[in-house]
Amino acid sequence: MAGKGGKMKRILLTLIFLALFAVVFILLGGGTWLKSAGQWLGGMGSKAEDAKQTIEKKATTIEKSVEKGIEAVKPGEKK
């Protein structure tokens, strides 16, 4: 039975520690840290989107040239 009291004490102290940590984080300007991190992540997302669009454009041009090459060499035709 003494073990159960120890678990409850540990859980209670952990919750108190987390609450204190949250208060200190807020008081030290954690909101601005989170905001700047969000802006940085947003910038990375837009860069990734630009790279994706560039790759898609190149892929479509390559696809078109391959299709033209396939049409140029018809089955049964010897070169």
Place of tokens 């040239």: 65
Amino acid 56: pLDDT: 94
38/70 Cα distance (integer angstroms): 47
Amino acid 40: pLDDT: 87
Return averaged pLDDT per consecutive 10 residues of the chain, 79 residues in all. 73 96 88 86 88 94 88 69
Amino acid 15: pLDDT: 97
Amino acid 52: pLDDT: 94
Amino acid 60: pLDDT: 92
Yes or no: say if 73 and 79 are a contact pair by the CB < 8 Å rule.
yes
| pTM of the shown model | 0.45
